[in-house]
Amino acid sequence: MTNFKAVVIEDIQVNRLVVLAVKEKENEISIRLAQEGEVLDFLATRAITEGEEVYVTIKNREIWKVEAGADIQAGVPVGTGEDGKIVEALGENAPAIIGYSINAAKAGEVVSYVRNVKGGGEGIPGRKAQKATRVLMDSRRKNSGTN
């Protein structure tokens, strides 16, 4: 678990999705309410107000509780809707999927959802597995006293 200080640049209600904001000042982290279609960064666990300095704690929770922006069925993909709420991510114009609901909820109620955390791209390729396996086998031989 880790935490850092951030400045809130707009009022944010409890159980809403939050994102990093464009830097207002140098060497200062700012946060704001997530908007429709954005991939979230954090969850507001209490109401916070514009200008407030808060400590953001990263807990790596897999299940988050967020206010539903519309009726949500259990077991469907969800995405970020307006004002940091979640909505079903079904159909042609659905927002990016951020997870799936584990209970049904009416608009305005809190819904639990399992976060769908994925990597951020392919990155630079590493060594091939064969080479890594060979190195591991060689080190085992040295440790066992056989060659």
pLDDT at 73: 97
Length of the chain measured in residues = 147
In the predicted model, what is the mean pLDDT of the chain? 83
pTM recorded for the entire structure: 0.75
- Cβ(113)–Cβ(102) under 8 Å? yes
The Cα–Cα gap between 8 and 32 comes to 6
Tell me the per-residue pLDDT of 76-115, one tens digit each, with 9 for 90 and over.
Answer: 999 999 999 999 999 989 999 999 999 999 999 999 999 9
Tokens of 120: 């951020």
Residues of the chain above pLDDT 70, percent: 78
- Give the strand order in the sheet containing 86-88: 63-67, 110-115, 99-101, 77-80, 86-88
Does 133 have pLDDT greater than 50? no
pLDDT at 65: 96
- Cβ(14)–Cβ(33) under 8 Å? no
